[in-house]
Chain A
Amino acid sequence: MRDQYQEQLAALADALADMCLQVATAMELATRALLEADLQLAEQVIAADVRIDDMRADAEEKAFGLLALQSPVATDLRVVIAAIHGAGDIERMGDLALHVAQAARRRHPQPVLPAEVAPYFAEMGQVGPALARKAADVIRTRDVVTATTLEADDDAMDDLHRHIFTMLMAPSWSHGVGPAVDITLLGRFYERYADHAVTVARRVVYVVTGRMPGPLAV
Chain B
Amino acid sequence: MGTPWHPPAYPSQVAPPALPQLLDQLSDLLARMCTEAGANLRGATLGLLEGRRRLAEKVVAGDATMKGLRAGIEDVATDALLFHAPVAGDLRQVVAAIRSSADLERMGVLARHVAEIALRRGAPCAVPDRVQPAFTEMGRVGVALAHKAAEVVRTRNVVMAAELGRDDEAMDALLVRMFATLMDRSWPYGTAAAVDVTLLARYYERFADHAVMVATETATAVTGRRPHDLMELLGETG
Q: Are B226 and A177 in contact (CB under 8 A)?
A: no
Q: Are A75 and B5 in contact (CB under 8 A)?
A: yes
Tell whether B12 is near chain A: CB-to-CB under 8 Å. no
Once bound together, how far apart are the Cα atoms of A127 and B85, in whole Å? Answer: 41
What per-residue 1/0 map shows which CB atoms of A186-216 lie under 8 Å from chain B?
0010000000000000000000111100000
Instruction: Give chain A's interface residue range (CB within 8 Å of chain B).
Output: 20 to 34
Q: Are B99 and A77 in contact (CB under 8 A)?
A: no
Tell whether B78 is near chain A: CB-to-CB under 8 Å. yes
Smallest beta-carbon distance B161→chain A, Å: 18
Once bound together, how far apart are the Cα atoms of A67 and B199, in whole Å? Answer: 39
Residues of A with C-beta under 8 A to B74 = 81
Q: Are B2 and A209 in contact (CB under 8 A)?
A: yes
Interface of A is mostly: helix
Residues of B with C-beta under 8 A to A208 = 1-2
Smallest beta-carbon distance A37→chain B, Å: 19
Residues of A with C-beta under 8 A to B195 = 165, 168-169, 180-181, 184
Once bound together, how far apart are the Cα atoms of A88 and B92, in whole Å? Answer: 15
Nearest CB in chain B to that of A75: its residue: B5
Q: Are B198 and A181 in contact (CB under 8 A)?
A: yes
Q: Are B183 and A64 in contact (CB under 8 A)?
A: no
Within 8 A of B (CB), among A66-101: 67-68, 71, 73-75, 77-78, 81, 84-85, 88
Residues of A with C-beta under 8 A to B7 = 73-74
Residues of A with C-beta under 8 A to B88 = 68
Instruction: Give chain B's interface residue range (CB within 8 Å of chain A).
Output: 20 to 34
Residues of A with C-beta under 8 A to B99 = 84-85, 88
Q: Are B3 and A210 in contact (CB under 8 A)?
A: yes
What per-residue 1/0 map shows which CB atoms of B91-127 lie under 8 Å from chain A?
1100100110010000001000000000000000000
- Residues of B whose CB lies within 8 Å of any CB of A are 1-5, 7, 74, 77-78, 81-82, 85, 87-88, 91-92, 95, 98-99, 102, 109, 179, 182-183, 187, 190-192, 194-195, 198-199, 202, 226
The 5 A-B pairs with the shortest beta carbon distances in the complex, nearest first, are: A71-B85, A209-B2, A210-B3, A177-B194, A184-B198
26 A-B residue pairings within 8 Å (CB atoms): A57-B226, A67-B91, A71-B81, A73-B7, A73-B82, A77-B78, A77-B81, A81-B98, A84-B98, A88-B102, A168-B195, A176-B191, A178-B183, A180-B191, A180-B195, A181-B179, A181-B195, A181-B198, A184-B194, A184-B195, A185-B198, A188-B202, A209-B2, A210-B3, A210-B4, A210-B5
- Residues of A whose CB lies within 8 Å of any CB of B are 57, 63-64, 67-68, 71, 73-75, 77-78, 81, 84-85, 88, 144, 165, 168-169, 173, 176-178, 180-181, 184-185, 188, 208-211, 218
